[in-house]
Structure 1
Amino acid sequence: MDMGTASPEGWRTGPTDLLAELYTRAQLANRELPSLVDGQKKYFYVSTEAIIDVLDLPLDKADTLRDFAEKAVNLLDKAYQQTETKLQKLLTALESNNVKVELGPRAKKTLHITPEGEKWYVSAHFRETWLISLPIYRVSADAEFPDILNVSDQDLYYLQAGWRASDESCDQNKPRMGTTQPWQALAWAAVRYGYLRIYLSALNLNMTEPTFAWTITSKSWNQQWPKREGKKLAQKIAEQHPLGMLTWYLGDGEKHPEVLRFAIQNDEKYEPKHLAQQILQVAYQTNYGILLDLLDSEKWQILKKLQPTRDPVYATLLGHTFWLSYSARAQQLLARTVLKSLEEAQRLIQALLQQGVQAKTYTWYDPKTGKNYYVVQLNGTNIARAAQLYPELRPALKELAQKHNIQPKTPLLRRLLELAENPPLPTKNLIS
């Protein structure tokens, strides 16, 4: 579909809005490209030297890591030459009305913007906003990343599961990672150490600042969780151990001041603050926590600032002590109890279900004892159902509401506050 040509002036009409935005972003990328390249080159040099020094790597591993950094820097130099030339050609073509906009042959929601006389094109995909990328061709290298962590096979397994649960994909049965963050590339390579193929595949023309798209394929590992269902399986494994939850968070987790938030396709998963303390403790028992300190990951720093809720609110239900937590940002209320065996957890879940109260269970690993425990969890709707049936829950609800100044912003919160402030007599008429 040829959408014609346009110039920088008067583009705010019809399909040429995209070209106006492309022109603005290309100008920004052209200005910021030198600092982007210099910044990432410096990052690789400084980070690898810090890793060598703090982790006290032997000479052979230090040399291997320095060679990895040097190859990454060489790729940045090559990408700079190519993207600088393409950006200048793109800007010239836009200014002289010499571009063609077409629908991609396979992706119906992707547009290709091609400067006249060129075989390459800029890709633009609309998903809430325009995602625009400038291609980089034939900028790749083979490299080796040493084993710098020396963790146990079990710890490594959970670290790998967490990455697969989030950003890691599969390339012909080999693990592959795509990222725009150099720290993420290094954090992932540390758990998929060995021989790697590194690509710089695109320059993303963003509204705020340009970014490089790094793609790394592990040649030394086979993907333990292949195909589409592999990601779901990896998520189930990752949530069994704090190290798995850590790398899942580093990939798909989102920065949040109150809870750990994970992206699961189009849904979200929330975990309480106290999990952050478990993650930190186990991470520092391995070298992975130290590595993340050296990489200066923003996500890791935010995780370290999360503190568990002080003076937790407790309630007794069916002979088990539950602790209640509330997230103001997520407007989410949860109740949890920890049991020593799966059988005990299943008996409690069945007893609740007989009263119309649904609960779920998941495994929690305690690094202090080295044992797995089983957490039974109620969400807000089922806490309200339980509070109608079991009056002993209501004083705890009132205490939690006062402690967090919970406001009736949703029908569920309003119902919970009604139960807390003016509880009715127990009834078998459960709320829907």
Structure 2
Amino acid sequence: MDRNKIEERLELALRPAEKPPTLEEVLEQVSRRGVLRGPVDWVFPAWILYVEYATQRIAEAFQLSEEERRQLFHFRDTLKWLLLEAQRQTKAKLTSIYKAIVEGTYRMEGKRLYAPDGTWMYVGRTMYIPIHGISASARFPDVLKLPHERLELLQLGWRASDEGEADGRPVIHTAQPWQVFAWTAARYGEVYTYIASVKLTHQGVSIHVYSKARNWRQKWNKNEAISLVADYLRRGERSPLLTAWLGDGKIRWKNILHSKYMLSIAAKEPWRLGNSMGAYEALVATGKEAFVKLREAAGVYGVLLDLLKAHKWFYIKLATDDTIRVDHKLKAENGKIHTKPTDRPSRTSTKPHKTTPHQQRSASKPRSRADKPGAVAVAGLIMHLNLVSGRGGSLLAGHYTRDPEKAHAAADKLKAAELRPNIVKIGPYYMIYIATTDLLGLAEEDDAVRRAVAQYLTEKAKNGTPRQREIAEKILQRHPFLNPGLPLLQNQ
């Protein structure tokens, strides 16, 4: 690997953290990608923050005896000590190697780069430094309280994916803090843990933790476990598939946000688990129902995954819950209004309202997601606000799709919420919209919708075209409940 690239990675790892990690930042990374990455002085405190959070939430969510609580918090303190010791060793090793590279005193032996003091790092397709002598054992309590046969199903899925074997005992090697707790809960008892290595990435470093469940014997080899997961699935039992997915499941955020449901798992021999999607990926199931059944199979384990903010569990929730998916889409839209969706908005105004053909033609062509105006969530759909001129002007909320079947499905959702949608073809798109009366009725019932509409209209009243300003001011004047905290706008 190029010396400049190695030096660059080391500088990223050793750069000072701009500020200490916050719990919000840590949970965001864990729920989005599972792994914590950043400078050494950020990542290790972030792991410690997560360990403190996870143990506290487990203690609050599960009924534990005093002895079990003592074990849980001792497990927490053990992990924190390991991380603090590993941070010191990591900083010292990376500093030594960086100094050797800058001064040109390093040497290469195969894939190892050595500093003069003997400190080395692996330099290949990945770069990492080994961590030595930082290990400890601690007991993790039985928080799930599952019958042995149910617990064994969860263990089977882990064995089919991320779990390995050492000295006849189950082990896991992970860079994802939530996996430490999710796996250990299924292999409770005495757990031997050590910080194995620190990997250098484009974003700093990531920490790799090794855990061994000393009170359990490994029951299956890898191929046997994978075949058993498939056998259970054919019989309708999905618990092993759930933990196999938590280990090696393939995540495609874009697909799931666009309602493309494919449940696939990385596997060296995909045919053992499902249809091959490539050399090392098995397509196990398709369709929303596959994810619904997987979520239902979790039971009490889902409670744990929820509080751990596991990104793969969040993926399952995105696939199965329209409200969560819409909420996530709104968050992902840079600069957009984020409103909390309602499960079933009802109409409060029954006054009929029709848009003229001229108004329909005046509705603007769907723009890119980056250019769209304010957004609201209605009946599980993202709808974008538009002012249309027409006679007198009006405010619409529209949802766009190219697929006529999806257009009618969206209209059915709105009808089920007691709204009166219209569908109009605009170029290659279908616009499914609700008119001003329905939209204002929702705004009266839902404070989040009211804020979104008020913010959109206020912005247009200030910075829109002359016609937009005129329409926005008129609507705000006629409906003061939209912005009770501000004085009414006056026509200029």
**What's the TM-score once normalised by structure 2's chain length?**
0.55
CA contact (8 A) 2:157 2:225 kept: no
The one-letter code sitting in structure 1 at the alignment partner of 2:291 is A
Aligned-partner Cα distance in 1 for 2:228–2:209: 23
- Which amino acid is the alignment partner of residue 254 of structure 1? K
In the alignment, what sits opposite 2:174? 179
Over the matched positions of the two proteins, sequence identity in percent amounts to 27
| Matched position secondary structure for 2:204 | coil
Whether the aligned pair in 2 keeps the contact of 1:145 and 1:194 (CA below 8 Å) is yes
Q: How far, CA to CA, are the matches of 2:158 and 2:2 in structure 1?
A: 35
Matched, 1:39 2:37: no
CA apart distance, 1:307: 3.4
**Is it true that 1:267 corresponds to 2:263 in the alignment?**
no
One-letter identity of the residue aligned with 1:209: G
Which SS does the other structure have where 1:254 is aligned? coil
In the comparison of the two structures, how many residue pairs are matched? 283
Please say if 1:164 is aligned against 2:159: yes
* CA offsets 1:253-272 (integer angstroms, 9 cap, x no match): 02122322210124212222
| Bigger radius of gyration among the two | 2
Query: Contact 1:225–1:233 at 8 Å: present in 2 too?
Result: no
Structure 1 unaligned segments of length 5 or more: list them. Answer: 1-16, 104-110, 310-400, 406-432
The within-5 A match list for 1:144-159 is: 144-159=139-154
Q: Deviations over 1:372-405 (max 9, x none)?
A: xxxxxxxxxxxxxxxxxxxxxxxxxxxxx98589
**Aligned residue number for residue 318 of structure 2:** 305
Shift of 1:237: 5.0
Higher alpha-carbon deviation: 165-174 or 152-161: 152-161
Partner of 2:453: none
Q: Who is 1:123 aligned against? A: 122
The residue type paired with residue 296 of structure 2 is: Q
Q: Aligned pair 1:289/2:302, yes or no? A: yes
Provide Cα deviations, 1:91-144, integer angstroms capped at 9, x if missing partner.
1000011111222xxxxxxx11111231x3211232xxxx11111000100111
* In structure 1, distance between residues paired with 2:230 and 2:168: 20
Aligned equivalent of 1:65, options 63, 66, 72? 72
Q: Secondary structure at the match of 2:215?
A: coil
State whether residues 237 and 244 of structure 1, in contact with CA within 8 Å, keep that contact through their aligned partners in structure 2: no
1:141 to 125, 136, 142: 136
The alignment partner of 2:124 has SS state of strand
CA distance in 1, matches of 2:311, 2:13: 23
What TM-score results when the alignment is normalised by the length of structure 1? 0.62
Cross-structure match for 1:280: 295
| 1: CA distance, partners of 2:14 / 2:143 | 37
Please state whether the residue corresponding to 1:205 is helix, strand or coil.
strand
Moved over 4 A (4+): 401-405
- 1:85 to 1:308, Cα distance in 2 relative to 1, 3 A: closer
Q: Is the 8 A contact 2:246 2:313 kept in 1?
A: yes
Deviates more, 1:136-145 or 1:237-246: 237-246
> Is 2:23 the partner of 1:27?
no
For residues 9-408 of structure 1, what are the structure 2 equivalents within 5 Å? 17-31=1-15, 32-103=39-110, 111-118=111-118, 120-126=119-125, 131-226=126-221, 229-236=223-230, 239=233, 241-256=237-252, 257=256, 258=260, 259-265=262-268, 266-270=279-283, 271-272=285-286, 273-284=288-299, 287-307=300-320
Residue 181 and residue 166 in structure 1: after superposition, are their counterparts in 2 closer, same or farther (change >3 A)? Answer: same
CA distance in 2, matches of 1:62, 1:117: 44
C-alpha contact (below 8 Å) 1:102/1:113 kept by paired residues? yes
2:97 touches 2:120 (CA, 8 Å); kept in 1?
no
